[in-house]
Structure 1
Amino acid sequence: MKLFSALYDWTMKWAKHKLAPLILAALTFAESVFFPIPPDVLLAPMVLAKPKRAWHYATITTISSVLGGIAGYALGYYMFDAWVQPLIAEFGYQTRFDTAVTWFEEWGVWVVFIAGFSPVPYKLFTVSAGFLNMMFIPFLIASTIGRGMRFYLVAGLIKLGGESMERALRKWVDVIGWGLVVLIVIAYVTLR
Structure 2
Amino acid sequence: MRLFETLYARALVWARAPRAVYYLCALSFFEAFIFPIMPEVMLAPMMLGKRHKAFFYANLSLLFSLLGALVGYALGHWAYETVKPLLSVHMQQVITVWVDNLRTDMNQHWLAMLGALTLAALQPVIPMKLVTWAAGIVGVPVLPFLACVAVGRGKRVWLLALLIRLFGERAERMLHRNIEWIGWAALVLLGLLLGWWLWSRG
The TM-score, its normalising length taken from structure 1, stands at 0.68
Q: How far apart, CA to CA, are the structure 2 residues paired with 1:114 and 1:84?
A: 29
Verify the 8 A CA contact 2:122 2:152 in the aligned structure 1. Answer: yes
The equivalent of 1:118 in structure 2 is: 123
SS at match of 1:33: coil
Q: How far apart, CA to CA, are the structure 2 residues paired with 1:31 and 1:72?
A: 10
The equivalent of 1:38 in structure 2 is: 38
The equivalent of 2:152 in structure 1 is: 146
Paired-residue identity, %: 35
Q: How far apart, CA to CA, are the structure 1 residues paired with 2:21 and 2:80?
A: 31
Unpaired runs of 5+ residues, structure 2, are 1-6, 87-97, 193-202
The equivalent of 1:52 in structure 2 is: 52
**4+ residue runs over 2 A deviation:** 7-18, 81-86, 104-107
SS at match of 2:37: coil
Please give the residue correspondences for 1:112-191 in structure 2 after superposition, counting only pairs within 5 Å.
Answer: 112-119=117-124, 120-162=126-168, 165=170, 169=173, 176=177
* Residue type at the aligned position of 1:66: L
Unpaired runs of 5+ residues, structure 1, are 1-6, 87-97
The TM-score, its normalising length taken from structure 2, stands at 0.65
* Residue type at the aligned position of 1:36: P
SS at match of 1:28: helix
Q: How far apart, CA to CA, are the structure 2 residues paired with 1:73 and 1:33?
A: 8
Verify the 8 A CA contact 1:31 1:37 in the aligned structure 2. Answer: yes
From the superposition, tell whether residues 12 and 51 of structure 1 become closer, same or farther in structure 2 (CA, over 3 Å): farther
RMSD, aligned α-carbons: 3.7
